[in-house]
Chain A
Amino acid sequence: SAVISQKPSRDICQRGTSLTIQCQVDSQVTMMFWYRQQPGQSLTLIATANQGSEATYESGFVIDKFPISRPNLTFSTLTVSNMSPEDSSIYLCSVGTGVGRAQYFGPGTRLLVL
């Protein structure tokens, strides 16, 4: 399985600011994804990070709020823009592995917005 790291592991931010989360994979992968897990909720897919093209966003998520970069096959960033307390969540990146349709997850970034 791929080894996935995320930075930062946690952060406390002020409302109105932005935070960029990095996701690094130890091997080249075609599919990279960004999820959010709000307190007491299930994991929700934000978007698929496509290499060389714009990310594909799920219903309820927009590029202006969650801009994503995917400059190569091992790296992606997710920015949480103009944050509010409702953005306090765990943000996780994941990759597709070719093992069926299983996805493998990074350790997550815990974000608290005050």
Chain B
Amino acid sequence: DQQVKQNSPSLRVQEGRISILNCDYTNSMFDYFLWYKKYPAEGPTFLISISSIKDKNEDGRFTVFLNKSAKHLSLHIVPSQPGDSAVYFCAASAGTGNQFYFGTGTSLTVIP
């Protein structure tokens, strides 16, 4: 059973606008969440993370929001740039374990 879900397989956004990528999870024990970006023929690249004690973490153009009651997190990219076009994966883990559960990814296309 998929514990981390990204229900939008793709997203198209105009350059300069905001990109919002969504992720839902089912396991209330998850306490650490990450976003990865993946270009074709490359491995995933770590982007930003958030611990469950926070509801927001910001790094430059990237902000991750966590809504624990809704078991939902989102990644905001603003302003979006063509170089942001990639597949974005969210991942979650519980406790000190090494097991990360990944979503299936959302393919973002930023249109110039």
Binding site for B on A (CB under 8 A): 1, 4, 31, 33, 40-45, 48, 58, 92, 94, 96, 99-108
B62: interface (CB < 8 Å): no
Q: What residues of chain A lie closer than 8 Å to B44, measured between beta carbons?
A: 43, 92, 105
Cβ-defined contact, A44 with B102, below 8 A = yes
A105 and B43 contact, CB distance less than 8 A: yes
Q: Are B93 and A101 in contact, with the CB atoms below 8 A?
A: yes
Closest to B39 in A: A107
Whether B51 lies near A100 (C-beta < 8 A) is: yes
Q: Is the interface of B mostly helix, strand, loop or mixed?
A: strand
Task: List residues of chain B with CB within 8 A of the CB of A96.
Answer: 98
Which chain B residue has the least Cβ–Cβ distance from A31?
Answer: B98
From B4, B49, B102, give the contact of A102 (CB < 8 A). B49
Chain A minimum-CB-distance residue to B38: A105
The minimal Cβ–Cβ distance linking B5 to chain A, given in whole angstroms, is 9
How many A-B contacts if CB must be within 8 Å? 56
A48: contacting residue among B36, B98, B103, CB under 8 A: B98
Chain B residues within CB distance 8 Å of chain A: 2, 4, 32, 34, 36, 41-46, 49, 51, 89, 91, 93, 98-105
Of residues B32, B45, B98, B103, which shows the largest number of chain A Cβ atoms within 10 Å of its Cβ?
B98
Q: B99 — nearest CB in chain A belongs to which residue?
A: A45
Top 8 A-B pairs ranked by shortest CB distance?
A105-B43, A42-B102, A43-B102, A42-B104, A102-B46, A107-B43, A105-B44, A106-B43
Interchain CB contact (< 8 A) of B42 among A43, A102, A104, A107: A107
Residues A42 and B2 in contact in the complex (CB < 8 Å), given A102-B46, A105-B44: yes
- Inter-chain CA distance A104–B32, complex, in Å, is 16
Are the CB atoms of A105 and B89 closer together than 8 Å?
no
In this complex, what residue of A is CB-closest to B98?
A48
A1: B residues at CB distance < 8 A: 46
Among B44, B102, B103, the one with the most A-chain Cβ atoms within 10 Å of its Cβ is B44
Q: Which residue of B lies closest to A92 (CB)?
A: B43
A70, chain B: closest CB distance, angstroms: 14
